[in-house]
Amino acid sequence: MRSAKFDALLSRYYTIIIFLIPALTIFTLFVVLPIGEAAYYSFFRWNGYGAPEKFVGLKNYEFLFKNRVFIMSLKNNFYIIAISLFVQLPFALLIALMISDKLRGAAFFRTVFFLPFILAEIVTALIWAYIYDGNYGLVAAIWGFFGAEAPFILGDKDWALLAILIVIFWKFFGIHMMIYIAGLQAISKEVLEAAKVDGAGPITTAFRIKIPMLIPTIKLSVFLSLLGSLQLFDIIMPLTGGGPSNVTHSMVSYLYYFGVMRMKVGFGSAVGVVIFLICLFIAIGYQRTLMRDDNENKF
Amino acid sequence: MKTNFRTYYLYLILFFLAGVIIIPLYVSVMGGFKHTGELRTNSLGLPIDWKFENYTSLLTNSDFWLFLWNSTVYAVGTTFFVVLFASMTAFVFAHVKFAANKFLYNYFLLGLMFPFATAILPLFLRVRDFGLLGTSWAVIIPQIAFGLGFSIILFRGFFRQMPKEIFEAAVCDGCSYTQFYFRFTLPLSTPILATVSVITLTGSWNNYLLPLIMINDESLYSWPMGIMVFRGEYFTDWGKILAYVSLTLVPAVVFFFTLQKYIVAGLTGGAVKE
């Protein structure tokens, strides 16, 4: 005999299955399995047709870590991370502190600083490719104003990476500022009032109250910044395409040029696995040190 | 007196920074109206001799509209399925107690940690082996897959904050989970639906790498691919390129100003909640 309770239970499992299956299937097939397959393919030399047969062991990785261009791209990614964490984020925090108070025109500045973030990365990079152009761009105009011959910054091995870093800074500091402002707004007014009554000035308040209370927010922005830096591709393509002489590749643009475009599935997968391991390393470190005291609602 | 002095410097810094943001955008939009010669001599000022041809030739170019249309299809298709699947999944995680709940939730979170570049070649092969190449699904399905994680977090957070009483009352009245999801959860979730939609739409609209890998057929190009092809064709003809840039920039800015609230809510959603 079927009881009402049994029916309810049945309907619960029925619901769970029906509601979870679409997301679970797509996610497994197109996110989880490909990551596993990348690890497997990376031990083969394979062009993607037929079955992978030519097992080469760790040869792909060996080649990768002896390859000057890849090492360069790895370094570039670390520069990007370093600049993002140690220059961009503190700067964004400073601006957030500056305009979160009852400053007149705060809304205007907030919107303007956030504006670059909403542009497509491709568009941002094209705008800057124009700015940097030594014949027609703003750089040309500025140099011309001083009567000097403008340099081609993006074609210069010593300056191209810096030029890219400036664009990254320009585009992304606004989102971090916005994240900090949201965090600052969540700080209770009473605490700030109390500090004021106790005679704390704006700088003391910032260092003793606001920044410590902002730690969970800062963790989030550090995490987003790390992941974003490791994925960098769209900004590089219109600016330098990895050039000149392959000195400005990111790991992803390296993967695109040397793995995808040449359909070297095994080799490209090895690059992917390296990026994956770096992400894993960061994620574990993040869980261990940064997320320890957070509640489970946040990621 | 001291306060005034400080405020003065504060505004000086802020206005300088605002200039650094706005000037590149301004010169780009204006650059589209200039002749090549004028770009060389007058990059900062308003155009002396307004040239509308760069803009009009694009607006009458059928490829330009085709690429915008393709991107619209990718964005709308991706958003529809992400919103549907992610909200269904998050609903189960938020309301239904079962053994693997926490485990499955973390399974989806894991996907957030890894950029899709790590598995881009196997992903391409999977799409190819499923026979999706040459169709819009080649872009839409992977975008759904990679959009699920973050959307599930946002939905779950919102659903959990909904008052439990509604749920209990509805279940007592004999409402099934499915009915509850369609009759109560979705209609009561418009803010989060808007946020997830806006984020997914913009993410898809601006995506460059994924369509670049998946699409070979020019009739399926997305607009970021189109703009790069255009750049290749008119390499130093900056007036034309800047016109293209401006035509995609203006809708983005308008879109942002109308939906600012949802965009910011979504991007900072994880941060504000304590």
Distance CA A3, CA A1 (A): 6
pTM over 0.80: yes
Structure tokens of A93? 């925090």
What sign has the CA pseudo-torsion A123, A125, A126, A127? positive
Distance CA A54, CA B185 (A): 53
Residues in chain B: 274
In whole angstroms, how large is the CA radius of gyration of chain A? 25
- Predicted confidence (pLDDT) at residue A160 exceeds the cutoff of 70: yes
- Give the burial class of B233: count Cβ atoms within 10 A of its Cβ; 0-12 exposed, 13-18 middle, 19 or more buried: exposed
Chain A positions in Cβ-Cβ contact with residue B231 (cut-off 8 Å): 126, 238
Distance CA B114, CA B142 (A): 14
Chain A positions in Cβ-Cβ contact with residue B205 (cut-off 8 Å): 120
- Predicted confidence (pLDDT) at residue A275 exceeds the cutoff of 90: yes
Name the average pLDDT for chain B.
86
Structure tokens of A159? 């300056």
Distance CA B149, CA B154 (A): 9
Chain A positions in Cβ-Cβ contact with residue B257 (cut-off 8 Å): 111
Q: What is the ipTM of this complex?
A: 0.88
What sign has the CA pseudo-torsion B131, B134, B136, B139? positive
- Predicted confidence (pLDDT) at residue B214 exceeds the cutoff of 90: yes
Q: What pLDDT score does A155 carry?
A: 87
- Predicted confidence (pLDDT) at residue A282 exceeds the cutoff of 90: no
Interface contact B155, partner A, CB < 8 A: no
**Which residue among A23, A227, A238 places its CB closest to the CB of B85?**
A23
**Which residue among A123, A133, A233 places its CB closest to the CB of B238?**
A133
B247, B239 contact by CB (below 8 A): no
Distance CA A174, CA A105 (A): 16
**Domains delineated in chain A:** 69-290 (1.10.3720.10)
Structure tokens of B215? 């699409």
Question: Tell me: the pLDDT tens digits for A33-63?
Answer: 999 999 999 999 998 888 888 888 888 999 9
Distance CA B29, CA B13 (A): 25
- Predicted confidence (pLDDT) at residue B90 exceeds the cutoff of 80: yes
Distance CA B195, CA B177 (A): 24
- Predicted confidence (pLDDT) at residue A287 exceeds the cutoff of 80: no
- Predicted confidence (pLDDT) at residue B33 exceeds the cutoff of 70: yes
**Element of type H or E holding A45:** strand A44-45
Chain B positions in Cβ-Cβ contact with residue A48 (cut-off 8 Å): 121, 124-125, 128
Q: What pLDDT score does A289 carry?
A: 62
Interface contact B18, partner A, CB < 8 A: yes
**Which residue among A122, A130, A260 places its CB closest to the CB of B224?**
A122
Distance CA A128, CA A119 (A): 12
Structure tokens of A250? 């990111």
Cα–Cα separations (whole angstroms), residue B239 to A240, B104, B223: 20, 52, 18
Interface contact B238, partner A, CB < 8 A: yes
The correct CATH number of B62-236+257-272 out of 3.40.50.11440, 1.10.3720.10, 1.10.10.1100, 3.40.50.300 is 1.10.3720.10
Q: Which residue of B has its CA nearest to A170?
A: B21
Q: What pLDDT score does B52 carry?
A: 87
Question: Tell me: the pLDDT tens digits for A185-198?
Answer: 888 888 888 888 88
Give the mean model confidence (pLDDT) for residues B54-67: 91
B223, B215 contact by CB (below 8 A): no
Distance CA B77, CA B201 (A): 9
